[in-house]
Chains A and B, each alone.
Chain A
Amino acid sequence: MRETPLDAGSVELVLQSSLELLGAYAAWVLAAAAVHWLLPPARRKAWLALSGAAFLASWFPAPLAAALAASTAALHAAGARARRGKEGWPAAALAFSAAAALLLGGRAHFLRYDGTFLVFEDVLPALFIGIYLKKAAYFLYEARYGRLPAYGAADTAVYFFSLPFALGPGVVAAPSHLQESYGKREGRAAAAHGLQTVLDAVLHLAGCWAVFRLFGSFMFGRELLGRLAQGRVRAPEIWAALGLAYLSFYLLRYGYEQLCVGTARLLGFDLRDNYAEPLLASSYAEHWRRWNVHFREMVMAFFYYPVMLRLARARPSAGASNIVAACWTTFFGHGLFVVAANAVFYSPGSWPGLRDSACRIALFEGLQWALVSGSLLRSRSQPGAPQPASGLREAAGIATTFALRAATLPFLALNRKQLAWSDVAGLLGAAFGL
C-alpha cells in the first residue's frame, strides 16, 4: 500500500472532530457534575456509569459498544471470582481476547487509507480502546491480588465507562485508588478542587499553544531542517529547538491528562496528580518517577517489582546486572502496552504505519531503558550514606536531565512524515557537535 503525506484536509478533519468531541465532553462534564451532586450518595456512582456509557455509546458503532459491554461484564465476573479465591483468569482472558480481536478487526480505528489519503476518523473509539486495554490489565491484576475486596458492578462500570477515566492516559489509575479516593471531598470542596485543577490544566494547554504559536516554525520545522541539510545551523540553535519542543510536549501532556484528573475531582474522585514537577528532576531516573505517575505505577507493579525482587534474592551480589535486567523488562513491558494502545489507531491494511509506530516506540523505550539504568547505576555507585548535593550540582543535574530528555524527543517524532532518520541523525549530530 502506498503511503501518502498528511494533507490539509486530513488535519482539518482531525481538528473538527476534536472540537466536536471537546464541546460534547465539556457539556457532559457540566451536566454530569450537577446531577451527581444533586443525587443521594447511594445513586451517584450508578449515574456516573450510566451517563458515561450513554455518552460513549452515542459515538461508537453498535457492534463495538456491544463488544465492550460484554468484555467488561466478563472482566467484572473474573474479578468477582478472584475475590472469592477462585481462578478467573482463563475466562476473562478469553472474553478479553475475543473483544480485542473484534476491535482490531476493523471496528475501531483512527487512520484509514481511502486510496489517496490517510483519513482520520472514529477518534473517540480509538482513544477509548487504547485506555481500555491498559485498564483491563490493571483491573485483573488488582482483583487477582485482593486489592478490590468490595468492588461492585457500579464500581467496575465507573472505572471503565465514566468519562474522566475513559479518555485520559493520565488517569489509568489503579481501580483501588479510584475507589478509595471517592468521597474524600464533598460538594463545594470537591468542585473547587476540581475547577482549580481544570484551570491549571487549561493554562498549561494555553502555554503549549503559545509555544507553538511563537516558535512552531522553529521547532523541527522544514526551514530548520533545510538549513541543517545545508550545514547552516549551530548547536545552540538546535538545543533551543529541542528544549522548546520538549517544553511544549510536557505542557500538552500535563494539560491534557490533568484535565482528566480535574474532571474526576469535580465528580468527587480525589485522584493524585499525574505529574510531580518532572522538569525539576535532577537525574533521569527521578524524571521517570515524576512523569505519568499513574501509568508508571502500573508498569512498576507488573514488571519491575517482581523481576527486581526475584533477582535481588537470587543474586544479591549482582546488583548492577540486576538493575539493568529489571529495567529492561520494565521498559519492554511499558513498550508493549504503548504499542498495543497504538495498534487500535491503525485500520487493517495500514501495516506500514503500525510497523513504523512499533519501531519508533521500541527505539524510544530502548533509550529510556539505557538512560534510566545508567542513572540508577550512577546513584548506586556513590558509596556510603547519601550526601547532600551542592546547589550548583543540583542545577547541573536538572539541566542535564532536561537536555537528555529533550534529546530523546526527536525519536518519538521519527517516521516518514515528520522526521526521517537522516533528520534525527543530523539534529543530534549538530547538537552534540559530531
Chain B
Amino acid sequence: MTEGVDALERAILGFLQEKSDAALRGLAVTRETPLFDSGALDSLLIIEFALFLEQRFQVRIEAHEIDRRNFATVSAVARLVAAKQGPR
C-alpha cells in the first residue's frame, strides 16, 4: 500500500510541477506544500487536476471532495486516490 501511495505521489507531483505557476512565485511544489493556501492550485488548475486524477488513476472525484482537507497537499491527494482505488 505504501509503495502504491509513493507512486501516486510521484505522478501527482509531476503533474503539479509541470502545470502550476507556483514556482514562478518562488515556491517549490513538494509533497507537503499546502496546495490551497500557497495558490499552487487555482480555480482552473484544480478542475484540470481533478480530471487528470480521474483519467490517470481511473477513479471518480466528486465535486464535494474538492476541499482543503482532501486537496491539502500532494500526500493528502494521494491518500484520497488510494482510498478510492481500494486495497490492491
Contacts and interface: CB of A to CB of B under 8 A. Distances in A.
Contact of A313 (B19, B44, B46, B51): B51
Interface in A229-282: 272
A380 B48 CA distance: 12
Contact of B64 (A177, A289, A301): A301
B3 interface: no
B21 A309 contact: no
A309 B46 CA distance: 10
Contacts of B64: 141, 145, 301, 305-306
A300 interface: yes
Contacts of B68: 177, 297
Contacts of A145: 64
B44 A176 contact: no
A379 interface: yes
A306 B63 contact: yes
A263 B61 CA distance: 36
Interface string B11-46: 000000011110110000000000001010011101
A176 B64 CA distance: 14
Interface string A273-314: 000000000000110010000000100110011101110110
Contacts of B42: 285-286, 289
Contact of B47 (A286, A301, A308, A389): A308
B contacts with A: majority SS? helix
B75 to A, nearest CB: 17
Nearest to A283: B42
Contacts of B61: 309
B56 interface: no
B69 interface: yes
A376 B43 contact: yes
A377 to B, nearest CB: 10
A304 B64 CA distance: 11
A392 to B, nearest CB: 15
Contacts of A285: 42-43
A312 B51 contact: yes
B76 interface: no
A385 interface: yes
B20 A380 contact: no
B66 interface: yes
A305 B69 contact: no
Nearest to B23: A386
Contacts of A387: 24
Nearest to A177: B68
Nearest to B36: A297
A40 interface: no
A398 interface: no
A388 interface: yes
B44 A323 contact: yes
A297 B43 CA distance: 11
Most chain A Cβ neighbours within 10 Å, of B19, B37, B44, B46: B44
A380 B44 contact: yes
A148 to B, nearest CB: 12
Contacts of B47: 305, 308-309, 312
B51 A305 contact: no
Interface string B42-79: 11101110110000000001011011110000000000
Contacts of A305: 46-47, 63-64, 66
Most chain B Cβ neighbours within 10 Å, of A147, A379, A386: A386
Contacts of A308: 43, 47
A60 to B, nearest CB: 33
Interface string A308-351: 11101100100000010000000000000000000000000000
Interface of B: 18-21, 23-24, 37, 39, 42-44, 46-48, 50-51, 61, 63-64, 66-69
25 contacts: A145-B64, A285-B42, A289-B39, A289-B43, A297-B68, A300-B43, A301-B64, A306-B63, A308-B47, A309-B50, A309-B51, A309-B61, A309-B63, A309-B66, A310-B63, A312-B47, A312-B48, A313-B51, A323-B44, A379-B44, A380-B44, A385-B19, A386-B20, A386-B23, A387-B24
Interface of A: 141, 145, 147, 176-177, 272, 285-286, 289, 297, 300-301, 304-306, 308-310, 312-313, 316, 323, 376, 379-380, 385-389
